[in-house]
């Protein structure tokens, strides 16, 4: 396994694991890697510092541990957001764009929804002036 720091075209930096460099190259070429923050599929390797074993104990100032803690906080917040959305919104699946339009045009009562939309559907909603947000959907660890 190999880990790379990646950067999307919106400037978000994230970490991804691959079986080998060839796997990374295939996936990036086919746009199969998506930024967990914005969903952008145009990514490239970001500069990263190698993890070099020195044989010394590192203690609390270890940058690797700080990064892990930061990543854990990030995923914890995303999980809290997911929990909140699932408790307070109606799931509409792949009908998100249609339902958002109905709400926007007051064809149905205003209510909170969540679901999936393609990049084309998202672009069309934005062009129509329909406000919505995209949240990176972290997998559940309790299932």
Strand partners, 114: 91
pLDDT digits (tens, 9 = 90+) for 73-96: 777 888 888 889 999 999 999 999
Q: Nearest 5°: phi and psi at 76?
A: -65, -45
Asked whether the whole model's pTM tops 0.75, one would answer no
Q: What's the burial of 33, exposed, middle or buried (CB within 10 Å: 0-12/13-18/19+)? A: buried
DSSP secondary structure code for residue 126 in this structure: H
Whose CA is closest to 132, among 108, 103, 94, 106?
103
**Strand blocks (E) in 19-98:** 43-45, 90-93
Q: Sketch the domain layout of the chain as residue ranges.
A: 2-45, 87-129
Maximum C-alpha span of the chain: 66
pLDDT digits (tens, 9 = 90+) for 28-78: 999 999 888 888 889 999 876 555 555 555 454 455 555 556 677 777 888
- The answer to which of 18-22, 68-72, 122-126 has the lowest mean pLDDT is 68-72
Please tell me the distance from the alpha carbon of residue 90 to that of residue 69, in angstroms, as a whole number. Answer: 32
The number of C-alpha atoms within 13 Å of 26 and in the hemisphere containing its C-beta is 6
Give residue 143's pLDDT band: very low, low, confident or very high (50, 70, 90).
Answer: very low
């Amino acid at each position: 396994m190999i880990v790379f720091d990646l950067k999307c075209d919106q400037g978000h930096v994230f970490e991804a694991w691959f079986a080998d460099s060839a796997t990374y190259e295939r996936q990036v070429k086919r746009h199969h890697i998506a930024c967990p923050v914005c969903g952008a599929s145009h990514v490239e390797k970001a500069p990263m510092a190698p993890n070099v074993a020195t044989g010394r104990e590192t203690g609390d100032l270890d940058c690797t541990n700080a990064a892990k803690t930061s990543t854990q906080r990030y995923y914890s917040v995303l999980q809290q957001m997911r929990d909140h959305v699932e408790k307070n919104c109606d799931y509409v699946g792949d009908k998100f764009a249609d339902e958002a339009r109905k709400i926007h045009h007051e064809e149905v009562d205003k209510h909170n929804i969540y679901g999936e939309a393609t990049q084309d559907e998202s672009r069309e909603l934005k062009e129509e002036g329909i406000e919505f947000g995209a949240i990176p959907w972290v997998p559940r660890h309790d299932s």
